[in-house]
A and B are shown apart, each in its own frame.
Chain A
């Protein structure tokens, strides 16, 4: 049985309170981190193999290393709590039930990259999470974990919370930075990358909530312990959000590389009503579906890429037999068309045409040639948009068309 790391406090009564966090060994990594040099910490995170949990899986230590080390340069850290990928609800739980774990991670990370100012950007819909953040930050200030001269180390950090207002794209780091600056959340051109010029033009490190939660544990228990969890290239624990047609939907923390079958059947209680599985979305709606014969795929970055999909946020949506895949695909396409920020044509026009065409097919108005049109649209979007939203929209549609072509063809003849 895997011993929980990130969710070890979840479910403990009052886990969101600072006293409960302290009584369970919280804020013990912080003094250890402050006793080390930033360079040592960056090296520890590099050796741990930690990779971003927000979807891209970029090595965190490398990202920290991109930040300039000159102390004269003002730097910022941003905490991405704009969890919006359909099927994902892990960061919400971490923030609502263990906000101090996140804060401890933020302080250590900020110290390591030499930032004295950090910003939380939280999804506007997360009212409870917002309240928890504000309370936890106030308590951390009161106890001397935030503010000037943290624990007598001479290092200081200020942290504040800012709300988003219902834009999926603000989960993309440069869009989030724009929004924090008080503008529309439209992604920026890269380069320059945020580590060179981010928030207010200063070097900025943006991390997902779950990623930051790993940091105190790496400091406290060592990078070798951490790297021993998971697979050689995908190390550490991961929270899998399981939803859809399962008996026990919820967040399950397991080592990266846990087989999809184990997650669905051992942890999430199998499929509702004993139905067969028709498809599984492994990492949130933007990741291409897997089929029942791929259930033994280990849930890590490499294995999922090999299976033609992505780990994404680790949001596993199980779709049982009897579900209309044309309808599911239409819903996904509609979501991305709605969330396209409208900046670049391939995404703005492409996602809308995808949604319209799928609408037509789903409602029995499909025309011969519509499936080729859909495939062509995906071709025209993928790799040609300003930011990754276009790819996120096209990849699942393309896969769905490949896997369930017969179902789409039947819909063109008549709606289901």
Chain B
């Protein structure tokens, strides 16, 4: 695996220990998950134990330590989506994709996740495909959505990854803990 981008990402934050969360997010945006080798690079560059990086990577739910599909399909099961039929949508997705929530398809095309409230309750039930929301889902709509994604042949364009905006002001001058 080509991890050339990792030192570049770390350099953006000037190897600042307090930026570890932002660094991990940028790495995940690049590779769709956190490869172990990348975590090792982060630990070495920030001069922290690998266990510290691992603590972060396992605490925050948006990180994955396993490769994920090109399309990450998230079905919202927050209370509002739940009462409007979220579980039926998840059920349909599991059937259409032939995988269970939390799994990735063998061809690495899809990852299916059941997620907590995504804060778009007025559109419930909501499905996110690579963070792009599809609201007012029905079983039929869910089937159609997967058909559409599946018909996009071959090299599907990289997920519509938002170019990750950097913090607009650097933290120079802000005291660091332990210093």
Contacts and interface: CB of A to CB of B under 8 A. Distances in A.
Given A86-B116, A182-B18, A249 B122 contact: yes
B177 A243 contact: no
Contact of A127 (B17, B131, B167): B131
Nearest to A184: B59
B79 to A, nearest CB: 5
Contacts of B65: none
Interface string B39-72: 0000000000000000110011111000000000
- Secondary structure call for the B interface: loop
A230 interface: no
B84 A245 contact: yes
Q: Which of B61, B63, B83, B123 has the most CB of A within 10 A?
A: B83
Q: Which of A141, A202, A244, A319 has the most CB of B within 10 A?
A: A244
A166 B122 contact: no
Q: Interface range on chain B: under 10, 10 to 19, 20 to 34, or 35 or more?
A: 35 or more
Interface residues of A, number: 65
A125 B119 contact: yes
Contacts of A320: 83
Given A125-B131, A165-B63, A200-B174, A92 B119 contact: yes
Contacts of B175: 74, 200-202
B168 A160 contact: yes
Nearest to B18: A182
A259 interface: no
B139 to A, nearest CB: 17
Contacts of B120: 89, 92
Contacts of B17: 182
A239 B57 CA distance: 35
B171 interface: yes
B165 A130 contact: yes
Nearest to B78: A86
Interface in A204-218: none
A285 interface: yes
Interface stretch (A107-115, A328-336, A363-371, A385-393): A328-336
Contact of A243 (B20, B80, B174): B80
B59 A185 contact: yes
Interface stretch (A12-20, A25-33, A131-139, A221-229): A131-139
Contacts, number: 158
A167 B59 contact: yes
A352 interface: no
A241 B177 CA distance: 38
Given A84-B119, A182-B19, 20 more contacts: A86-B80, A87-B78, A89-B122, A127-B162, A161-B168, A163-B22, A167-B61, A181-B18, A182-B17, A182-B18, A182-B21, A182-B56, A241-B121, A244-B83, A249-B124, A250-B122, A285-B78, A317-B80, A319-B83, A331-B79
Interface of A: 74, 83-89, 92, 117, 123-127, 130-131, 134, 137-138, 141, 158-168, 179-185, 200-202, 241-245, 249-251, 281, 285, 315, 317, 319-320, 323, 327-328, 331-332, 335, 338-339, 341
What 3 pairs across the A-B complex have the smallest Cβ distances?
Answer: A165-B60, A166-B61, A166-B62
23 contacts: A84-B116, A86-B78, A86-B79, A86-B116, A87-B78, A92-B119, A92-B120, A160-B167, A161-B165, A164-B60, A165-B21, A167-B60, A182-B17, A242-B122, A243-B84, A244-B80, A281-B79, A285-B78, A285-B117, A315-B121, A317-B121, A320-B83, A328-B83
